[in-house]
Structure formats: structure tokens, C-alpha cells
Amino acid sequence: MLSVLAYMLVFLLITLIIVLSTAYDIILKVHGPGSSADNEIKIKWLCFSIYIRQPVTIPFSGRESEEAVKLSDKDFSVKNVDINDISKYRKQVEKISFSKVLKTYRQLRSPAFRFLKAFSRSFRVPYAKASLLFGFKDPSYTGIACGYAYAVKGYIDRYHNNLVFEIDPDFVDEVFDLEIAGKLRIRPYRFIFPFIQFFLDREVLHFCWERFVFHCKKRFHKSHTDHSMC
């Protein structure tokens, strides 16, 4: 019985090592004009492969958003409500939420940046190519977007030789055509150390402890008020 259990443990350990150490290749292809695009993803691991194809809708014009706003105005019309109370409540909620977000950003800024830096080194991009054809109704907007796009292209051409970014601005018509093809290679064991380093960081542990104490106090206060009401 012990020998069978030992063989099972050895088999599980070898399987885990193979799963974590072998490379996973993710091949991505996105192509589509206008407001729709075809998304093709192929995942390869050893001799196995999974093929996923799914269309993606990209809202290029603002008609859909305008219709959604009109529907929301019709559905959520409120009557006999004091506007001053609503504005005060909104300001209070915005102030509280902004202060919490700012405090969280200050606490987790350094460990989050370290985690993203280590996370970006955990995978490799053998090749990637992107072609972008775009044009707006106003040619000035096309020129502004073209300037930013060429700035990104210059950075990519300087620091990433395996990435190709092609830009084709159209100053006459309103068009949008995107084509992306690339390959991403991942080895799962490389993600273990960044996650452990992030969650064992002193600032992250301090933040989690503060949130845990806050929720415990809130739950205790709520249960205490319920008992007092009874």
C-alpha cells in the first residue's frame, strides 16, 4: 500500500514539474474592418492544441452609446426627489471613494510596480505584428492620433526588434481596420516568484491586515446594533 502511494506521489510530482516547466505557446490573430473583428487564438502545449475563434464587436461610432444613454434616462427617471439631497449624496460618495482610492494607490504603488515589472519578465514574445488603418471625420483628429501612433512606433522600433507596428492613416474617409498577429510563450513556473514576492510584501500585508480589521469591526458593530434593537 505504501509503495503504491509513493508511486502515485512521484507521478503527481513529475506531472506537476512537467506542467510548470514546459512552455505554452499562445498564437493570436485579430483581423477586422469597421466595428467587428475576428479573434483567433491557438494554445499549444507539447503535442496538444486548442483552437478558439470568437468575433469581437468594437463600437467605433457613438450611436450605440447615445441610444444607451437615452434608454437609461427613460428607465431611471426619478420624480418628487430633492435635487440638493442627491447632489450632496453624490459629492459625499465621490469624496469617500476618491480618498479610499488615493490611500490604496499610495499604499500599493511601489509593490504593484515591482510586481508588474517582474510579471513582464515572466513571459516572452517571439514575434508580433500589428497593422492599423484609421481615419476620423475631422482630419485634424486623424493627424493628432497619427502623431501619438508614430511616437509609439518609434519606441517599439528602438527597443523591440521582434515587434512590428505598421500605421496607415486615412485623412479622407472615416475608417478603422485592425490586424494583429503574434505569439506569446509562457512558462508557468516563472509566475510563481512574482506572486509570492507581491503577496509577502510588507506594504501589501499591512494593507490586507487593515482591510481585515476594518471588515471585522464593521461586522461586529452591525451585529451589536442588531442585538440592541432586539
Model confidence at 57, pLDDT cuts 50, 70, 90, reads low
Kindly report the number of other CB atoms within 10 A of residue 76's CB atom: 7
Q: Express each pLDDT in 107-127 by its tens digit.
A: 888 888 888 888 888 888 888
In a domain, 206, yes or no: no
- Select from 61, 80, 64 the least CA-distant residue to 72: 64
The H-or-E segment that residue 199 falls in is helix 192-199
Q: What is the pLDDT of residue 61?
A: 47
Amino acid in the structure at residue 68: A
What pLDDT sits at residue 161?
82
Judge whether residue 78 has pLDDT over 50.
Answer: no
For the whole prediction, is pTM greater than 0.75?
A: no
Under a CB-based contact definition with an 8 Å cutoff, are residues 27 and 189 in contact?
no
Q: Does residue 33 lie in a domain region?
A: yes
DSSP labels, 87-108: HHHHHHHHHHHHHHHHHHHHHH
Mean pLDDT, the chain, rounded, equals: 78
Domain carrying residue 33: 23-60+122-192
Among 42-46, 126-130, 209-213, 223-227, where is mean pLDDT lowest?
223-227
Please give the pLDDT value at position 75: 46
Q: In angstroms, rounded to a whole number, what is the distance separating the alpha carbons of residues 193 and 209? A: 22
In a domain, 225, yes or no: no
34 within domain boundaries: yes
pLDDT at 65: 45
Number of domains in the chain: 1
Instruction: Report d(CA 214, CA 55) in Å as an integer.
Output: 44
pLDDT value of position 69: 44
Q: Is 213 helix (H, G, I), strand (E, B) or coil?
A: helix
Report yes or no on 14 lying in a domain: no
Residue 92's pLDDT band, with cuts at 50, 70 and 90, is: low
CB of 192 closer than 8 Å to CB of 115: no
Please indicate, yes or no, if residue 68 is contained in any of the structural domains.
Answer: no
Angle between helix 192-199 and helix 202-229 axes, rounded to 10 deg: 60
